Amino acid sequence: AQSVTQLDSQVPVFEEAPVELRCNYSSSVSVYLFWYVQYPNQGLQLLLKYLSGSTLVKGINGFEAEFNKSQTSFHLRKPSVHISDTAEYFCAVKPDRGSTLGRLYFGRGTQLTVWP
């Protein structure tokens, strides 16, 4: 079985400050990892993904994430946030084999609020 834990439900931060949104996962098989962003009353937009290769992945809007297999983590970072980054962020995993091959498993989300 797979599960995703986003350790912080809310992260307030001032504009131009760095931010880290934490994500840990549990899985009995190898997984692919994703971060999605959701603005109010909208669907999910893909920020970045780790499928294979380099463990440091870069995404849109200046975000990056590092896959740490030993710690089963995939934390999202941005060195300097803007007010427009205020949104809900979801970490998701997808097993690369098994009976539930298709579905994504999501965490409960982290609300990032950027203050001026």
Catalog residues that contact another protein under the rule CB under 8 A: 4, 32, 34, 36, 41-46, 49, 51-52, 90, 92, 94, 96, 100-109
In the bound state with another protein, the residue whose beta carbon lies nearer, of 7 and 15, is 7
Using the minimum distance from each CB to another protein, give the nearer residue, 81 or 92.
92
Q: Please, what is the minimum distance in Å from the beta carbon of residue 103 to another protein?
A: 4
Which CB sits closer to another protein, 40 or 116? 40
Cα 6 to Cα 41, 50, 89, 97, 116: the distances in Å are: 21, 17, 9, 23, 25
Q: Is the dihedral of CA 51, 53, 56, 59 positive or negative?
A: negative
Provide, rounded to whole angstroms, the least separation between the CB of residue 87 and another protein: 14
37 CB contacts (<8 Å, ≥6 apart)? 44, 45, 47, 61, 87, 88, 89, 90
CB of 83 to another protein, least distance (A): 22
Which CB, 77 or 106, lies closer to another protein?
A: 106
CA atoms within 13 A on the CB side of 23: 29
